[in-house]
């Protein structure tokens, strides 16, 4: 906003500066090993302003399932979730992993609050319809109630979101953590200026997949189309970026694709409209 | 309060009517079987006014531990909690049992929020000192931060408290559900007029242990001393009632000892100062 010379200038409501909120999604591996978890929580605690952490936990779920003699079946990277597997992921994501993160954050002065979608009914989903594949108790998000969440965030509470939702008919449902992060970001964008950060194994989207340092620092829809046309961006990165643009179109200010050790520096690929 | 004839009468601040809050503690068994859980949640939903549910889950923890080849060792009714057992109770109490209750309450229109003591740092404990017995990762409550909890309750949120606390040094700690209920009640008594209900297998404290209908409907410190002197009240009921009087002395308005199927009727033994 340019400072105007009119001394009676008052910013209009639409120009009102909203508080920044960072929503960081990390995968399972980093939160499931105590050394990498500790570093992550330290980095996360250094992010200034309001923040939310969204976590996975698939490796721990697979490990517990194996100990209990339950086979883990994956299709397209998604876990087929039968009744016994639902209990496993509810225990691991909602209990073990979530509470280890919450307790770890509390120890370094971050007032964390662990949540599943059932808690305060903040995220309701519906069991995925059976087509060729029956994913079982897997939920597709239908409704996000971000009001109470936004109130808590504004009071300094830091939500830690497990990859679980509910159907408001009494069932927990297994839900992809990327989806949780994206849906939470879109709903919270009504209350905050949201930066959504997706962490993966590279420092960002790469110009050259063989050169880990060739990070594309900025992406827009125009650049994205250009890179796709040139096959610079391809494969699994395309749906990830399409989801990012969808979030931006729904009001999220920026999406950053980065590596977990960069979350406090905001380096990586910044995507805007 | 007597209505006075003075037309200028204004209630003094100390006479200000506080909102009622019911804190209901139920044992593990009732929340671990789907039929009794469903009935409990229906009864609980019928309690008018603000409410909190505190639950156990010991049988499920013992069952999961057994499946994982972990032996459950109990001393004086308390679980010896080594590192592996702590993971089990964190998964079962904080994940499985807590989220089944939360999802079940959401399904009948109760805006439940599952919490451990680590969440919003609402209850901090310290690892019990080793004496003759090393209980392991068992916490004795040291601090309750009820402010954010009270705000949420006043907004219609219904906390569902798992029997877990944390030490604010990164560790979850296994904590008796009766203790959680009592400590939460004392802290919330600064914000609400608190009724604390402990559910057990009888309809209340009995005059004659062989007659399940001989419920003592009212108890005061004087009656308690009389009944103890007459050996009408004895055994494990004495510490339970001593804890109740401690809660009353700390500001809780009334304690009701009852059976879970009576929570919405408030029948049972009502204890006041």
If you search the block for the tokens 């601040």, which residue do you land on? Answer: B13
Mutate to test the interface with A, among B170, B171, B174, B175 (most CBs of A within 10 A): B170
Question: Within 10 A of A8 (CB to CB), how many other CB atoms are there?
Answer: 5
Residue B67 forms contact with A (CB below 8 Å):
yes
Q: Are residues B29 and B163 in the same domain?
A: yes
Measured in angstroms, the CA of A258 and the nearest CA of chain B are apart by 27
Residue B271 shares a structural domain with residue B221: yes
Domain end among B169, B193, B217: B193
Q: Are residues B184 and B258 in the same domain?
A: no
Indicate which of A66, A88, A103 best probes the interface with B, i.e. most B CBs within 10 Å of its own CB. A103
Name the residue range of residue B253's domain. 200-273
Question: In this complex, which of B103, B118, B157 lies closest to A99 when CB atoms are compared?
Answer: B118
Restricting to A residues 104-143, those with a Cβ less than 8 Å away from any Cβ of B are 104, 106-107, 111-116, 118-121
In a domain, B8, yes or no: no
Q: Is residue A186 in some structural domain?
A: yes
Same-domain check for residues B123 and B232:
no
> Residue A270 domain-assigned?
no
Total of domains in chain A: 1
Residues of chain A with pLDDT under 70: 1-16
Mutant choice from A34, A83, A107, A119 vs B, greatest count of B C-beta within 10 A: A119
Cβ <8 Å between B96 and A91? yes
Mutate to test the interface with B, among A95, A137, A143, A160 (most CBs of B within 10 A): A95
Domain check: are B189 and B204 in the same one?
no
Let me know whether B158 and B74 are in one domain: yes
Regarding whether B127 and B211 lie in a shared domain, the answer is no
For residues B139 and B226, membership in a common domain is answered with: no
pLDDT (0 to 100) of residue B260: 95
Q: What six digits make up the tokens of B1?
A: 């309060």
**With contacts defined as CB-CB under 8 Å, which chain A residues touch B103?**
118, 166, 170-172
| B108 domain residue, yes or no | yes
What pLDDT shows up at residue B235? 85
Same domain? For B161 and B229 the reply is no
- Please identify, among B193, B208, B241, the residue that sits at the C-terminal boundary of a domain: B193
Interface membership of B150 toward A (CB under 8 Å): no
Same domain (yes/no): B25, B157: yes
Q: Are residues B161 and B271 in the same domain?
A: no
> Is A31 in the B-facing interface, judged by CB distances under 8 Å?
no
Contact criterion met (CB < 8 Å) for A170 and B91: no
Residues with pLDDT less than 70, chain B: 1-16
Instruction: Please answer yes or no on whether A148 and B155 come within 8 Å at the CB atom.
Output: yes
Strand positions, DSSP E, B116-231: 123-127, 139-144, 158-161, 164-166, 172-174, 193-199, 218-219
Which token pair is B89? 């109770």
Among residues B161, B193, B225, which one ends one of the domains? B193
Residue A246 lies in a domain: no
Alpha carbon distances (Å) from A31 to A26, A41, A101, A104, A165: 8, 9, 8, 11, 20
The alpha-carbon gap from B170 to the nearest alpha carbon of chain A, in Å, equals 4
Helical segments of chain A, H only: 28-32, 34-45, 58-67, 83-89, 98-107, 147-154, 177-188, 221-229, 237-249
In angstroms, the CA B47 to CA B264 distance is 5
Chain A residues with beta carbon closer than 8 angstroms to that of B68: 67-68
pLDDT for the residue numbered A1:
37
pLDDT digits (tens, 9 = 90+) for B2-23: 344 444 555 455 555 789 999 9
Task: Specify whether B212 is located in the same domain as B167.
Answer: no
Query: Which residues 6+ apart lie within 8 Å of B203 measured at CB?
Result: B212, B213, B215, B258, B259, B262, B267, B268
CA distances from A70 to A31, A66, A76, A166, B165 (A): 23, 5, 19, 22, 30
Q: What is the pLDDT of residue A14?
A: 52
Question: Which among A93, A120, A170 has CB closest to B157?
Answer: A120
Q: Does residue B11 lie within any of the structural domains?
A: no
Contacts of B98 in chain A (CB under 8 A): 94-95
Residue pair B164/B93 in contact (Cβ under 8 Å)? The answer is: yes
With H, G, I as helix, E, B as strand and everything else as coil, classify residue B142.
strand
Assigned domain for A58 exists:
yes
A-B CB pairs within 8 A amount to 122
Burial class (CB in 10 A: 0-12, 13-18, 19+), A244: buried
Please give the pLDDT value at position B5: 46
Which CATH number characterizes residue A93's domain? 3.40.1160.10
Q: What is the rounded distance in angstroms from the CA atom of residue B120 to the CA atom of residue B141?
A: 15
Residue A130 phi/psi, 5° resolution?
Answer: -80, 125
Q: How far apart are CA A265 and CA A271, in angstroms?
A: 16
Residue A241 in domain: no
């Amino acid at each position: 906003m340019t400072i105007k010379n009119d001394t009676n200038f008052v910013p209009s409501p639409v120009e009102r500066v909203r508080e920044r909120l960072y929503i960081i999604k990390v995968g399972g591996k980093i939160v499931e090993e105590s050394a990498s978890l500790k570093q992550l929580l330290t980095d996360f605690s250094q992010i200034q302003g309001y923040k939310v952490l969204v976590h996975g936990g698939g490796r721990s779920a697979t490990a517990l399932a194996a100990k209990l003699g339950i086979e883990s079946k994956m299709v397209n990277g998604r876990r087929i979730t039968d009744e016994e597997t639902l209990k496993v992921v509810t225990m691991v994501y909602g209990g073990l992993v979530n509470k280890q993160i919450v307790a770890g954050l509390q120890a370094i002065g971050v007032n964390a609050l662990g949540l599943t979608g059932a808690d305060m009914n903040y995220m309701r989903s519906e069991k995925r319809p059976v087509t060729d594949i029956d994913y079982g108790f897997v939920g597709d998000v239908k409704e996000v109630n971000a009001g109470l969440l936004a109130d808590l965030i504004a009071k300094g509470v830091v939500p830690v979101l497990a990859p679980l939702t509910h159907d408001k008919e009494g069932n927990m449902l297994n839900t992809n953590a990327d989806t949780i992060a994206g849906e939470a970001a879109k709903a919270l964008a009504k209350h905050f200026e949201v930066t959504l950060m997706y962490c993966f194994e590279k420092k960002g989207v790469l110009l050259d997949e063989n050169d880990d340092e060739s990070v594309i620092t900025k992406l827009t829809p125009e650049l994205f189309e250009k890179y796709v046309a040139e096959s610079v961006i391809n494969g699994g990165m395309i749906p990830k970026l399409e989801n990012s643009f969808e979030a931006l179109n729904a009001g999220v200010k920026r999406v950053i694709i980065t590596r977990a050790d960069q979350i406090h520096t905001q380096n990586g690929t910044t995507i805007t409209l």
